Structure 1
């Protein structure tokens, strides 16, 4: 990550978490050409899921927004682990999956947690294409999962 991004994280009072080890036959991130593809990130802290349940039933939209932000920070850490500290130039695409209670239609507001974090960290280079998808269940019972494609510099 560039020193400018490191400075922005610090000014936001944020630090990159440790990259969570995968729980399956995949890697957290792959650097290919000018892109870094990050596997879906669920809200973890110290290797443990921090919340479970469905948004709109067990988890409020505001809590889910914060969880989405946590997932985005984890995605940033995974990308930096393969692209190097100077290797990330911006965000290309975000896909957010929200475990949704029946009738919950606020998925875009939940995924805004990730989008807002990337805009705060990268500025204009954090603007991205995005999908926000409601699903019945997510791995480990997570309420939110965020998948990201970053632009790599050099």
Structure 2
């Protein structure tokens, strides 16, 4: 397990499970309900957001793992969507998503390698710099 469960910031649950699939809500870089860093992410500053991206990904993974029954493991992360709050003209969304992909591979090995989308947005809840959602197979 990844650790503490993310605290929903509204009227939703952190993850849902249907059969062997788990879908997480979008997770931001919150620790104990508090945003550790705000955006937007600017060109040339991606490295300074590495901890925030890693925490958002860890929160998504923790939400997915919380839906496992005793003795179960995640068979694979199927897909990940990385929403990047970025300044106008920003074009390095995939580099931000690479940080999350690396975290999944560190934690799960080849089971963490997945398809993904990296999407630039004008803003995210709580002024988050990044929001990550995953779909996993049990």
Same fold? TM cut 0.5? yes
- In structure 2, the partner of 1:103 is 89
Q: Is the 8 A contact 1:43 1:50 kept in 2?
A: yes
Q: Is the 8 A contact 1:91 1:150 kept in 2?
A: yes
- In structure 2, the partner of 1:46 is 32
Total equivalences in the alignment: 137
* 1:76 aligned residue (36, 61, 64): 61
5+ residue gaps, structure 2, are: none
Q: Is the 8 A contact 1:79 1:150 kept in 2?
A: yes
Mapped partners of 1:31, 1:64: distance in 2? 30
1:65 matched to 2:50: yes
Q: Is the 8 A contact 1:99 1:136 kept in 2?
A: yes
* 1:31 aligned residue (13, 17, 25): 17
1:133 matched to 2:119: yes
RMSD: 1.6
Q: Is the 8 A contact 1:92 1:128 kept in 2?
A: yes
Mapped partners of 2:101, 2:63: distance in 1? 17
| Structure 1 residue 17 displacement after superposition | 3.3
Mapped partners of 2:56, 2:116: distance in 1? 15
SS of aligned partner of 1:102: coil
Q: Is the 8 A contact 1:98 1:144 kept in 2?
A: yes
SS of aligned partner of 1:105: coil
Q: Is the 8 A contact 1:72 1:146 kept in 2?
A: yes
